[in-house]
Amino acid sequence: QILAGKYRVEAHVGSGGMSVVYKARDQVLGRDVAIKMLSSSRVSDEKSVRRFHQEGTAVGRLNHQNIVSVFDVGLTESGEPFLVMDFASGKMLTELVSFSGRCSLERALHLIDEVLDALIHAHEKGVVHRDLKPSNIIVSNPGETNETVRVFDFGIAKLMTGDEATNSELTQTGEIFGSPLYMSPEQ
């Protein structure tokens, strides 16, 4: 399948509660990209579509080596929204921990430092992730000296600047977002 006349979908990468991710090839620029699409069960839900669009807007504000970049936002011919992102190869932090177990203090501090750099950048741009967990962190070149962390999945991010009316429409009082095991205690 070709999206937007230039993204050739090659493989299914993963699925979550709200979206599906595919590996694709940008035929114009000759590079691999990730295509994130709203799950078909959510396409008819206006609030889900607006949240999905907000993710593209939020991540589009960010330009940091430890955050997966968004290159494009669009709609398929049938009206399904999609995001085109940098294809980050590597292993999710959950996979590394499951496979390797506990890592050295030095390595843990390095990984945490890169995640914090990403979050600081996002917060400076008015974006709060709200679902940071090991499965939303990918580690490129695991175990190598050039090991790098990339934070992704800003699907429930909160924009702290801009149109507060839009933000309040997407988050109602009492709504809780995130993965319970990784949420702050006050939530």
The catalytic residue among 45, 131, 153, 163 is 131
Which CA distances in Å does 60 have to 84, 99, 137? 11, 33, 18
Residues 148, 88: contact at Cβ < 8 Å? no
131 is catalytic: yes
Phi, psi for residue 124 in degrees, rounded to 5: -65, -30
Helix ranges (H only) for 30-79 are 46-60
Residues 13, 32: contact at Cβ < 8 Å? no
Nearest partner of 177 among 148, 144, 147, 155, judged by Cα: 155
Give catalytic residues, as residue numbers: 131
